[in-house]
A and B are shown apart, each in its own frame.
Chain A
Amino acid sequence: MGTNALKTTGRRPIRSHKVLIADDQPEILTSLRRILREEPYDLITCDSASKALEWLAENPVDMVIADERMPEMRGSDLLEKVRDAWPQTIRVILTGYPGSSTVAHGLTHGIDWLISKPWNDDALRLTIRQMLDDRDQKRPAPGPEPVKTEPEAADFCEQAAVPLSSIGVDGRVLWANRAELDFLGYPKHEYVGKSIVDIHADPRTAQELLRRLADGETVRQFEARLRRHDGTFVDALIDANVRWEDRKFVRARCITRDNTSQKSTEARLRRDRDELETSIRERNRDLQGANDELHRETAERQRAEDTQRLSEMRFRLLVEGVKDYAIYMLSPDGIIVSWNIGSERIKGYTAEEILGRPQTMFYTEEDRSAKKPERLLESAKAHGRIEEEGWSVRKDGSRFWSHVVVTALRDPAGRLIGFAKITQDLTERRRADEEKARLSAQMLQGQKLQAIGQLSAGIAHEINNPVGYILSNLNTMGEYCQDLRRLLKVATAAAMAREKGGDPTEALTEYRRMAEDIHADHLIADLVDVVGDCKLGGEKIRDIVRSLREFSHVDEGALRPTDLNKCLEDALRICWNELKYKAEVHKDYQADLPQVPAYPQRLGQVFMNLLVNAGQAIEKRGEVFLSTRVEGDYAVVRVRDTGRGIAPEHLSKLFEPFFTTKEVGTGTGLGLHVAYKIVNAHRGKIEIASVLGQGTEFTVRIPLGGPRVAAATEHPTDRRLS
């Protein structure tokens, strides 16, 4: 016996194992043959399960390796038949699908090992070797020839250097040779007749041995610990069989060998072998794991590919199915290369009509001649993405307001491969926006007219006064004229008398008396004042009417160069009656204030609202300060009053619609909301600063460059009066 694994293999050439391989694929058979060429096996290869069974029927083998997938019979089924017919045969399945349920079933039903394809050559060799070795351990070598009970045979038995004994059916020793007695140290008379149960250290091994012999088994290398006569123990291997006569247990022939030294060697050997087995199994398991991993990865990759294909398909379906957006692709030079249903719906072309044609055809004549489509693509190329709104043209020539996003598409290397273009028809939204703007304008206009309505009594009063004195003055002038005509008559009479050579004295006296009576000098002088006053009154009425017309006029919606000083002055004229009885109005206008692009009527409305508020903030008497300035990029108008001020908790709500602290009927709560909206529309700012009990200052900033140039709007900020 060897001391290590390598030497155990040395036993193999003694006996050549037969290995049958069944696989329908010739290349697998060839490959296995090649791998096992160096091994000391007789290889039988069959290309079908039926051929394998045919062979097996005639020639038993030690091992059958079968491919699971064979046309007429599965490998696992073949191996099941092999198990039923030749249970000693080692059964190995060869499969590319180690996880399949058939194989799993096979492993629990009669399959000893599984080789998964692709295999590792060394692992395969080792595994086969290992399994054949394992089986050899279990299967006994053929026993010695039966010993004849002839005299020379009797001598042979008695004197042989191997301990021999025979045991009766009751387990008592019937006979033992010299070597046996020496081995265990018993005198013959003591040993014969002794029950082996007393000789075995463990009575159970004796009983097992007897049971197996009684079952007709030839027991080989039965390990037992035996009790010597001196009480020490010895490890022994027992080979035994029974002589039967007429199916009757006559005696058991036993050969006992000392196993002590062998036992420890064997223990080490077994350990070594166990280690090797373990390492091979582990390696196999690793390989198996690697194999499984590979399969899983392959399956996963397949799944990922499927998923990607599916998601690409879904994406394509999604894009193609989108109806509300035209989604299409352009080649780098602007040729249409894809077209979805939304494109067809919005633009009117079918895919067949449009694919391969330039995208410029979606633009208006003006845009095309201005090279807008080209510029758009250039811009997308430069910035990655461009977004814009404008008119687009449908197939039928009609126009629609579109929102377009163009995205430049680049491959991983950064090369431009085309553009994605998404167009949305915003005509409806634009219409809605216009409607909203119209309603908003209506609201502004409504608030304005309402405010003017509320001011109308004051405006009427402002007109009434001049009308009153103009009419009265005209009446007075009439009276003056009458008086002067009478005076002129007397003067004429005096002149005529002198002309005719008569005496004018009487007429002249009358003239002087009358001139004194009617205060002629005063009349003449006063006439100048009367005319001046009438003119003044007329102008006042004219200005008021002009301002009023300026106000009630609906803004045509176009920006106009606007003189904010005049605008403020117009507003003041409209509101004058609300202020003049309560407030001293101080004006501090920047004379050279530049005109700003604005909606003058709307700004007038803002100032009117602020002035009315200022007037209403003043309870009895106060002051109102108006100023205009250029500050930074803004023309700034300030309206400050010394009124009651605004409570801090109201400041934030001031620009909300319908917020009012005034009595019912005094204000609508729209004035400041409207002011805010109008200033916002100018991209300007409106700010409030207020101290309760001290007054309020509104600051309106209108961008000098107009709304287009101005930055985005900001919300009004609160600032305290210093």
Chain B
Amino acid sequence: MIAAQKSEAPVLNLYHWHTVIVVDDDRQVLAALRRVLDREPYDVVTTDRPGLALDWMARKSISLAISDQLMPEMDGDRFLEEVWKHSPTTGRLLLTGHPERLNAIPASRRSLLKVMLKPWEDGDLRKTIRTLLREREGSQG
């Protein structure tokens, strides 16, 4: 089974079915991320519009939001701050190729983020996402 094949990954409580939303303005990046996450035990929603993502989250419960940093419509850290405002329990992961630019972000906002570098390694990304989802399960009791 899947769990057996990916034995290195943290085991998720399948009674909590998760939905992960991914936001990136580069459609190829988005497609690649979808492929990485498609066969993981959670639903994946992708969009290149942070605004649409926020709309969507107002209606659905999202376990984790993954975002690119530089986007025309909205910077990733700002988007994730919005996510935190609307849904404090949603996990937040920032994917960026320029971590040095994050120095410009106020420390208070930066503390809200888990940051991963681009280019990513698929296995690392999957593991990180599982960890974040499990942390969330834990925090929810």
Q: Measuring CB to CB, which residues of chain A are less than 8 angstroms from any residue of chain B? A: 457, 460-461, 464-469, 471-473, 475-476, 479, 526, 529-530, 533, 536-537, 577, 580-582, 621
Contact = CB atoms under 8 A, between A and B. Distances in A.
Interface of B: 26, 28-29, 31-33, 35-36, 39, 70-72, 97-98, 101, 118-122
17 contacts: A457-B98, A460-B97, A461-B97, A461-B98, A464-B97, A464-B119, A465-B118, A468-B32, A468-B97, A469-B28, A472-B35, A472-B119, A473-B35, A476-B36, A526-B35, A581-B72, A621-B72
A152 to B, nearest CB: 162
B97 A465 contact: yes
Contacts of B28: 465-466, 469, 533, 536-537
Contact of A581 (B29, B70, B118): B70
- The CB with the most chain B CB atoms within 10 A, among A464, A536, A537, A582, is that of A464
A554 B36 CA distance: 43
Nearest to B97: A464
Most buried by B among A465, A469, A530, A577: A469
A529 B97 contact: no
Contacts of B119: 464, 467-469, 471-472
B80 to A, nearest CB: 17
Contacts of A464: 97, 118-119
A533 B26 CA distance: 11
B72 A580 contact: yes
B116 to A, nearest CB: 11
Given A461-B98, A464-B118, A469 B32 contact: yes
B32 A476 contact: yes
Given A468-B29, A533-B32, A581-B71, A475 B122 contact: yes
A318 to B, nearest CB: 71
Contacts of A466: 28
A465 B120 contact: no
Given A465-B26, A467-B119, 9 more contacts: A464-B118, A468-B118, A468-B119, A469-B31, A469-B32, A473-B32, A476-B36, A533-B28, A537-B28
B58 to A, nearest CB: 24
Contact of A533 (B31, B70, B98): B31
A476 B72 contact: no
Contacts of A473: 31-32, 35
A464 B31 CA distance: 16
A533 B27 CA distance: 9
A457 B96 CA distance: 12
A468 B70 contact: no
Nearest to B26: A465
A519 to B, nearest CB: 8
Contacts of B101: 457
B98 A469 contact: no
A538 to B, nearest CB: 11
Nearest to B2: A517
Nearest to B68: A465
Contact of B72 (A471, A526, A536, A582): A582
Contacts of B29: 465, 468-469
A99 to B, nearest CB: 100
Closest 5 CB pairs of A and B: A468-B119, A469-B32, A464-B97, A472-B32, A476-B35
Nearest to B30: A469
A577 B68 CA distance: 14
B121 to A, nearest CB: 8
Nearest to B70: A581
A379 B98 CA distance: 67
Residue of B32, B36, B118, B119 with highest tally of chain A CB at under 10 A: B32
Contact of B26 (A460, A469, A471, A479): A469
Contacts of A471: 119, 121
A465 B101 CA distance: 16
Contacts of A581: 70-72
A479 B71 CA distance: 30
Contacts of A529: 31
Nearest to A584: B72
Nearest to A530: B35
Given A464-B119, A536-B28, A472 B33 contact: yes
